[in-house]
Amino acid sequence: MGEFLSKLKEEQEKLEEQIWRIRDDISTLEQVKDKILNYFNSDNAGRSESAENSSILDGPLYYSADKVENTTKRMWVKDIKETYYMIVSAWQMLNACPRNEGKKRIEKAKSCIKFLRIAESAFGQSASELEILTDDEAKKLNKAWADAFQKCKAIINEAVDIFMGKEKPVPPKVNVKKINDNNFQLLCGVCGAVAVEFSVGKTWYHQNPGVLYTGIVKSTALHINHAESIMKLLEAHNIAELHKYLHEYMCYEGIDAYCPKCNKVYCSEHYRTREVWDEGFYDCTYGWCPEGHKRMIDD
Ligand SMILES: [Zn+2]
Ligand SMILES: [Zn+2]
């Protein structure tokens, strides 16, 4: 074997070993998971379903697991388990990457990222549920759960990047792309992918034409009366003013893909989002731009 090949093989083995070692972090996550499940089961009595009217919602939030009714508990257990198993699945896909090549390898890497996203969502939900419990044990477990999860997520994220085989993304020269007088796209400030689209027209779910908005987490239609103002701002490439306009007339969060601090929009890959769940119900979505600016982008 030539020197080059043996070096390549050496690097590959090192990489495989690194991926293998991630299992240590996953096993920490598993241990915390089991502790939480034990904690939930520590008082099997739970609360009778009929007592659930005096709801947790009425707060003050002095709750321990034995005050939570069994149906809720089962839902929480499901979210904890889902978080863990999705991380395991992400790791399995990651682990398959070095042993595949070309398109197949990228497919595995993409599946890994998909599982990570599901894990993130399940984790967000489970963390919001654990937050309701305010006894010391629950607080401790919640912190350990978050630490263990974030560590697994970060390390898998970093490793999977190696296999995505992407060339460095190229930022677009202009952030607004005009398709025609009635159709504009806002492009991601990192990679140039379409992040938001505006078009004047009709949809199957609206009788009258309007301004259709499609963002990264939200799509909606505005009254046709807004068409002129919106198209004018798009024509002028004035995203900051457009954001203000939509903040006033569409929704409080304005353009969901827009970071006011950067004055840029980002695609769903580069504007990382996290859904917040409150006691099992969707609450809102936060977004982080690549510069780390955080804001609520959907409510
Ligand atoms: Zn992008
Ligand atoms: Zn930003």
| Token representation of residue 161 | 């990047």
Residue 215 in domain:
yes
Distance 200 CA to ligand 2 centre (A): 28
Does residue 206 sit in the same domain as residue 246? yes
* Cα–Cα nearest to 53, from 65, 41, 69: 69
Number of domains in the chain: 2
- Flag whether pLDDT at 56 surpasses 60: no
Alpha carbons within 13 angstroms on the beta-carbon side of residue 130 total 28
Greater pLDDT, 132 or 259: 259
Does residue 97 sit in the same domain as residue 19? yes
Residue 214 zone, left/alpha/beta (φ > 0; ψ -120 to 50; rest): beta
Residue 151 has a pLDDT of: 95
Among residues 161, 188, 213, the one where a domain terminates is: 161
Gyration radius (Cα) of the chain, Å = 23
Mean pLDDT for the stretch of residues 266-280: 82
Does residue 187 sit in the same domain as residue 85? no
| Token representation of residue 292 | 């780390």
Q: Ligand nearest 295 Cα, by number? A: 2
Residue 168 in domain:
no
Q: Ligand nearest 172 Cα, by number? A: 1
Contact 68, 56 (CB under 8 A): yes
Does residue 81 sit in the same domain as residue 139? yes
Does residue 189 sit in the same domain as residue 147? no
Residue 252 in domain:
yes
Mean pLDDT for the stretch of residues 242-248: 94
Distance 271 CA to ligand 2 centre (A): 9
Which residues keep their CB under 5 angstroms from ion ligand 1?
A: 188, 190-191, 193, 267, 270
Distance 262 CA to ligand 2 centre (A): 4
Distance 286 CA to ligand 2 centre (A): 13
Residue 293 in domain:
yes
Residue 73 in domain:
yes
Does residue 262 sit in the same domain as residue 236? yes
Among residues 118, 137, 161, the one where a domain terminates is: 161
Residue 69 has a pLDDT of: 74
Residue 21 has a pLDDT of: 93
The domain that holds 116 is classified in CATH as: 1.20.120
Does residue 73 sit in the same domain as residue 155? yes
Residue 65 has a pLDDT of: 64
Residue 282 in domain:
yes
Contact 51, 69 (CB under 8 A): yes
Does residue 49 sit in the same domain as residue 24? yes
In eight-state DSSP terms, residue 201 is: E
Among residues 106, 126, 161, the one where a domain terminates is: 161
Q: In sequence order, which ranges of 69-166 are alpha helices (DSSP H)?
A: 70-96, 102-130, 136-161
Does residue 244 sit in the same domain as residue 274? yes
Provide the b/e sequence for 150-175 (b: ≥16 CB within 10 Å).
ebbbebbeebbeebeeeeeeeebeeb
Does residue 129 sit in the same domain as residue 262? no
Question: In angstroms, rounded to a whole number, what is the distance separating the alpha carbons of residues 83 and 117?
Answer: 10
Question: In angstroms, rounded to a whole number, what is the distance separating the alpha carbons of residues 287 and 268?
Answer: 9
Does residue 92 sit in the same domain as residue 182? no
Residue 244 belongs to domain spanning: 176-298
Residue 257 has a pLDDT of: 92
Q: In sequence order, which ranges of the chain are alpha helices (DSSP H)?
A: 3-41, 70-96, 102-130, 136-161, 227-235, 239-249
Does residue 62 sit in the same domain as residue 140? yes
Q: Ligand nearest 270 Cα, by number? A: 1
Residue 171 in domain:
no
Residue 57 in domain:
yes
Greater pLDDT, 118 or 241: 241
